[in-house]
């Protein structure tokens, strides 16, 4: 009986630990075509920061991507990301980025 309880508790703990990263919020790296200057990057950053789903964004001119960090349980579709980049004047390049799903 005690053995069974310990087993169940262990599995429960492992389950909680496994599910922790998912609760921490998803990240997505998206390549951006045409992003060559600070003005480009600033516009892109502002567009994404205005979205409720986005907790943080990091932009790299050198590596030509944006790293999106979403709020817990939230995300943006590829279509929405494409539209936001288009509103900023640029093009999404999903093949250049890598989706970092937990």
Partner 1 sequence: MVLRRFTALLFGALVVVGFGARSEAHPVPYKGAWGLMSFNSSDMTEVSLVHSFTSQLAVATTYLKSSDSEFYIPRLNWLAKRWNNEDSQANIYLSGGIGSEVFKNENQTVRMAGLGMDWESRRYYVLFDQMYLHRDNRRNLAIPNESYGYMKFRVGTAPFLAEYDELNVWLILQAERYVGRGSGSGLGGEEVELTQILRFYVRNTLWEIGTRLNGGWVFNYMVHF
Task: Enumerate binding residues for partner 1 (CB under 8 A).
Answer: 33-44, 46-47, 59-62, 64, 86-91, 93
| CB nearer partner 1, residue 26 or residue 85 | 85
Q: How far is the CB of 92 from partner 1 (least distance, A)?
A: 10
d(CA 24, CA 69): 10
18 Cβ contact list (under 8 Å, min separation 6): none
d(CA 81, CA 94): 10
Q: How far is the CB of 39 from partner 1 (least distance, A)?
A: 6
| CB nearer partner 1, residue 21 or residue 89 | 89
First to last CA, the chain: 35
Q: How far is the CB of 90 from partner 1 (least distance, A)?
A: 6
């Amino acid at each position: 009986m005690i053995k069974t309880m310990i087993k169940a508790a262990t599995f429960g703990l492992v389950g909680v630990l496994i599910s922790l990263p998912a609760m921490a919020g998803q990240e997505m790296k998206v390549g951006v075509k045409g992003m060559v200057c600070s003005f480009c990057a600033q516009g892109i950053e502002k567009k994404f920061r205005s979205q409720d789903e986005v907790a943080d964004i990091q932009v790299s001119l050198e590596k030509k991507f944006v790293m999106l960090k979403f709020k817990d349980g939230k995300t943006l579709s590829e279509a929405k990301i494409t539209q936001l980049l288009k509103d900023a004047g640029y093009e999404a390049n999903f093949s250049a980025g890598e989706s970092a799903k937990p």
